[in-house]
Amino acid sequence: MVVSKQALSQATIKRIPVYYRTVKDLQQTGEKRVRSDRLSKLV
């Protein structure tokens, strides 16, 4: 796996926990995949 060394903005870092909780909630309902456009609407 190639890892980029670009810095993340503070706004992106603050959104990570929200994305994580949303994905965990979807997982609890049996979802195995989620498209980024759907995830952005749920957040």
Domain membership flag for residue 1: no
Could you give the C-alpha distances from 39 to 5, 29, 32, in angstroms and in order?
25, 15, 13
Domain membership flag for residue 2: no
Domain membership flag for residue 4: no
Total count of domains within the chain: 1
Taking all residues of the chain, what is their mean pLDDT, rounded to a whole number?
90
pTM of the model: 0.71
Q: How confident is the model at residue 35 (pLDDT cuts 50, 70, 90)?
A: very high
Could you give the C-alpha distances from 33 to 4, 8, 24, 27, 40, in angstroms and in order?
24, 24, 11, 8, 14
Range of the domain at 16: 10-42
Domain membership flag for residue 24: yes
Domain membership flag for residue 32: yes
**Nearest one of 7, 2, 42 to 24, comparing CA atoms:** 42
Other beta carbons less than 10 A from residue 31's beta carbon: 11
pLDDT tens per residue across span 12-32: 899 999 999 999 999 999 999
